[in-house]
Amino acid sequence: MTHPHGTHNAGQVTLSLVIPVFNEEDSLDGFLARIQQVFQHEVLIDLELVFVNDGSSDATLERLLQRQQSDARLRIVDLSRNFGKEAALSAGLQIATGQIVVPIDVDLQDPPEVILAMIARWREGYEVVLGHRVSRRSDTWAKQTSAHWFYRLHNKIAEQPLPENVGDFRLMDRCVVDALLTLPESRRFMKGLFAWVGFRTTHVDYERPERLTGQSKFNGWRLWNFALEGITSFSTEPLRVWTYLGACVSLVSFAFAMFIVVRTLIHGVDMPGYASLMVAVTFLGGLQLIGIGVLGEYLGRTYIESKRRPVFLVRRVYDPKD
C-alpha cells in the first residue's frame, strides 16, 4: 500500500544510525559485525554510524576510535560526562546528517535487519516508522506490568498519547529530526517528544530479543523516575487533580459536620471520638503533603528549565577525516 501523499525517492539514500553507548566495550564488536552483515549488500543505502559516548568509564571510547581507523562510516561524539540516554540521543540527532535517522541500542535488542523493513515503509511515503515490539517476553514481569500501567496512566492524562510497546527504535525522516531539534526544552523525555512532533506515522513489528552482553542500565528506581519525567513533561493534570480532590474532601467534611450538629441537637452532647479525629487529621495531613509534593515537582521542573542550560556538553567530535 502506498501512502496517498506521494512516495520518497526510490534511489540512493543516506542513513544515520544514532547509537548511545554507556560502558558498552563488550557490545561494540558484536553490534558492528551485525551491522556489517545486514548492510553489506544494500548498495542503495549510504550508512553513517553516529556513536555517542555517554561518559563511559571503561574502554568504550578507545575501542570506537580504534574501529574508526579502519571504518570511515564511524563518527563519534564524546560527551563530557554521563548525561543519560535521552541527552545522548539528542546529541546524536544533532550531528547526524542522514536523510533518514534511526536511533538504535548497541546491545542488539533492536535488531538491525528491522531497519530494512522500516526503509521500505519510508519509501512508501511515511516520515516516521515505529519499531513495534510484538511481545515483551524478554522483559521481567515487573517491567512489563509497570510499563503497561505507565502507558495507561500517561495516555489518559497527556495530550498526545504514546504508542505502547514502542521504544526509541524508529525511523525518522530528515524533516522529523529537524522538527525535534527545534524543541527548546532541556529536560528531554524523547519518547514523548517523538510522539508530540507527529508526522505521517506507521510501524513495523519485531520481536525484541534479550540483551546479548552486559547489563541493562535501567533498574526499578531509574524507571520510576523516568515514568515521573514522562508524565510531568507532557501533562499538568496531576496539578489540577488536587482542586477536585480538595473540593470532594471539603464536601464530605461539611456533610459530616452537619451530621454531627444534627445528632448533637437530637441526642445531646456525645463523647468525642478520638479515633475518628485522628484518622481525619492524619488523612488530611497526608493529602496535603502529596499535594505539596506534586507542586514541588512542577516548580522544580520550571526552575531547571528557567536556567536554560544545554542538554549535554561535548568534549570532542571525532570525524573519520581527522
**Which positions lie near ligand UDP, rule CB under 6 A?**
20-22, 24, 54, 82, 84-85, 88, 105-107, 109, 211, 216-218
CA distances from 288 to 257, 284, 294, 297 (A): 20, 6, 10, 14
Q: Does 107 bind Mg ion (CB under 5 A)?
A: yes
Return the number of the residue (78 or 107) whose C-beta is nearest Mg ion: 107
Q: Does 235 bind Mg ion (CB under 5 A)?
A: no
For the bound state, the minimum distance from the C-beta of residue 173 to ligand UDP, rounded and expressed in Å, comes to 23
State how far the Cα of 173 lies from the Cα of 180, in Å rounded to an integer. 11
The 128-133 sheet, strands edge to edge: 201-206, 128-133, 166-173, 100-103, 13-21, 45-53, 74-79, 314-318
Return the number of the residue (63 or 123) whose C-beta is nearest ligand UDP: 63
Binding at 146: pick from ligand UDP, Mg ion, none (beta carbon under 5-8 Å per type)? none
- Per CB under 5 A, the segment of 178-186, 201-209, 211-219, 298-306 that binds Mg ion is 211-219
Cell numbers that stand for 151 in this block: 502507558
Return the number of the residue (99 or 216) whose C-beta is nearest ligand UDP: 216
For the bound state, the minimum distance from the C-beta of residue 214 to Mg ion, rounded and expressed in Å, comes to 9
Own/partner contacts of 2-8, CB < 8 Å, gap of 24 or more, are 2/124, 2/125, 3/124, 3/125, 3/126, 3/200, 4/125, 5/125, 5/200, 6/125, 7/123, 7/124, 7/125, 8/122, 8/123, 8/124, 8/125, 8/173
- Per CB under 5 A, the segment of 103-111, 146-154, 251-259, 266-274 that binds Mg ion is 103-111
For the bound state, the minimum distance from the C-beta of residue 141 to Mg ion, rounded and expressed in Å, comes to 17
For the bound state, the minimum distance from the C-beta of residue 251 to ligand UDP, rounded and expressed in Å, comes to 44
Cell numbers that stand for 223 in this block: 524507571
Tell me which residues touch Mg ion (CB under 5 A): 105, 107, 109, 211
